[in-house]
Amino acid sequence: MENWFDSAVFYHIYPLGLCGCELRQENHVNEHRILKIRDWIPHLKELSITAVYLGPLFASSSHGYDTSDFRTIDPRLGTNEDFINVCKALHEEGIRVVLDGVFNHVGRDFWAFQDVIKHQEQSAYCNWFYNLHFHEISPYQDPFVYENWEGHWELVKLNLNNPEVVSYLMDTIMMWIDTFDIDGLRLDAANCIDFDFFKQLRRHCKSRKADFWLMGEIIHGDYNRWANGEMLDSVTNYECYKGLYSAHNTRNYFEIAHSMNRQFGPQGIYKHLKLYNFSDNHDVNRLASALSNKQDLFNVYTLLFTMPGIPSIYYGSEWGIEGWKGKDSDALLRPCLELHNSAYDLSLADHIAALSKLHQKLSALRSDEYETVLLRNEQFIFKRTYKDNVVYVACNLNDQPYEAAWNVQGNILMDELNDHALYSVENQTAHITIPAKRSLILVCMEREPHNHEESGDQASVDTNLLNAALPMPGRYRHFKGKEYEVLMIAKHSETLEDYVVYRKLYGDGGVWIRPLAMFNEIIEINGKKQSRFTPVCEE
C-alpha cells in the first residue's frame, strides 16, 4: 500500500522570499504576508501539486535558518493564526504541508542563547549548546565561545545530546502537528545531526501521525545511512541534481544515466528508497541559469518526473526564471514573485503540469523498477515497469530529430506526453523518431483487454481508447503497402464522430476521409496482428 508521499509531487516555496519579506527582522510587526500562499493554490492545482515544502518560516533574525523562536511564525510573514488558515486551505485542496525543521543550530537571538549572553555561566541553558567555553572572546565579543555551523558564528549549534533540548524540540514538533496539522518535516543539515536524535524523532512523529514524512538534507555520502526503517523516510538526491543539468550542458547523457543506474538499476544501491529529486532549490543556481541551452529545460523536467523517486519543483522554476547564487547572498535565488508575468515561459509550465499528471497516473513511474534501454551521448531511453505495466521514456538533446529502434513489449506504443500519438511495433521492435530537444513517454499496450489490478494504468487498451488516440499529421503506410499523408482530424457535423482526413502519396493524390476508429484499427492478416496504418519515419 502506497503512502501519500510515494506518489507525491512537491512544490518547494521559500516563504520569506516569495512573500517579499525584508532581509532582516528589524521589528515585530505582524505583516500577514504568509496568506499570499493561499492565492497560489489554484496555480498549484493546475500543476497537479500534491504537497508543498515550505522553507523556514519560524521566527528568525534574517534568512530563516537562524531561528529565534521555534513556536512562532516569523512576524515578517504573519501570525500563527495566519498560518493555521494557510494550512487549512491547502489541506482542503488535498495538498500536504511539509515544513523545514532546523534542529542542528539556532540564531544568536534564540531565547535560550540570549539567556546565556545575559547570565553567562549562571544561565540554566549553558548545556543547551555544544562546546560552550568561558575562557575566550567570540567574534561578537561575548565572554565565551561556542560551536557554530561551518564557521558561521551567527548560527549556534544545539546540543542534541541534552535530553532537555530534545524534549523541547519534540514538544515543539507535536505543537506543529496538533496546531497546524503538518504532514512532514525536511531536516536541515541532516548530515550534522546525531543518528540517535533521528531515531527518537521518527518514533515520536509516527506515534502521533503514522504517515508523517521525514526527509533529510544530505549532499554527500551513502543515503542509506540516513534513509532507513529506523530514521528518515527520504533524503535529497544531490547526486542526480548535478547530473540532470550537467549531462545536458556537456551533451553527455552517460553522466545522468550512470547515476540513475547506480541508484536504481537492477543492482541499484537505492532501489528501495524514495529519494527526493529536484533540479534546483533555495541553495543552488536556478535550473534556467545552470543550463547552457534553455531548450534543454523540457528534457530535464521529463527526466525529473520519470526517474524513480519523488519529484519537486522550486517555486518559479516552472516558468524558467533565472537566479544565481551570489558571493555573499542567496537573495537572487529566493525572489518575490507574482502569479502573472509576461516574461514567464508558460509552455514550460504546461509541460511540467502534463508530467505531474502522468507521474500520478502511471504506477510504473512511481515504482522502483528501472532499466536503461538505449544510451548515446545525446539520446537516452529507459524503461519503467510495475507488474505488467511498461513505460519507455525517450529523450533527445540533439538539435535534430533522432530515429531510435529498440526491442519493446506489447504491439502498440502510445505517447502519453504528446497528444496520445500511436506507434505500431513490428517484430517486437519499435522504430520511432524522437523530436529535437524533446522527449516521449511511451506506454506499452495491447489491443485485447486484460484484467489488471491497477485500473488506472495503460498496460492494455480497449478499442475505444485506441479510437480516441489521434494520429499526428505526417506520412503513414497502409498495411497493403501504399503511403498516405494525414492532414487533419475532422468531426462529422451531425454525429460528431471523428474522421481522419488524408491524401494519397501516389497516383492522383486524391484526398480521402475515414472514420478514426477504422484508421486506428488493429487487424489480423494471416494470423498476425498489425495496424491498418503505420507511421512512416522520415529519413
CB of 455 closer than 8 Å to CB of 483 = no
Whose cell is 535550473? That residue is 287
The Cα 515–Cα 456 span in angstroms is 27
> Is residue 6 annotated as part of the catalytic site, yes or no?
no
Query: 408 in helix, strand or coil?
Result: coil
**Nearest in space to 470 (alpha carbons), one of 530, 519, 511, 413:** 519
**Nearest in space to 158 (alpha carbons), one of 202, 229, 110:** 110
Query: 244 in helix, strand or coil?
Result: helix
CB count in 10 Å sphere of residue 492: 11
Q: In what order do the strands lie in the sheet with 389-396?
A: 369-375, 379-386, 389-396, 438-445, 412-415, 421-424
Q: Which of 217, 296, 369, 415 is catalytic?
A: 217
CB count in 10 Å sphere of residue 69: 17
The Cα 184–Cα 165 span in angstroms is 20
DSSP 466-485: HHHSPPPSEEEEETTS-EEE
Query: 120 in helix, strand or coil?
Result: helix
> Is residue 217 annotated as part of the catalytic site, yes or no?
yes
For the record, the C-alpha cell of 214 comes out as 521525514
Q: Which of 142, 154, 183, 188 is catalytic?
A: 188
The Cα 382–Cα 403 span in angstroms is 16
The Cα 442–Cα 391 span in angstroms is 6
Angle in degrees, CA 518, 522, 525, rounded to 5: 115
CB of 277 closer than 8 Å to CB of 237 = yes
The Cα 71–Cα 233 span in angstroms is 24
Angle in degrees, CA 90, 95, 100, rounded to 5: 85
Dihedral, CA of residue 32, residue 35, residue 36 and residue 40, to nearest 10: 170
Task: Catalogue the active-site residues.
Answer: 188, 217
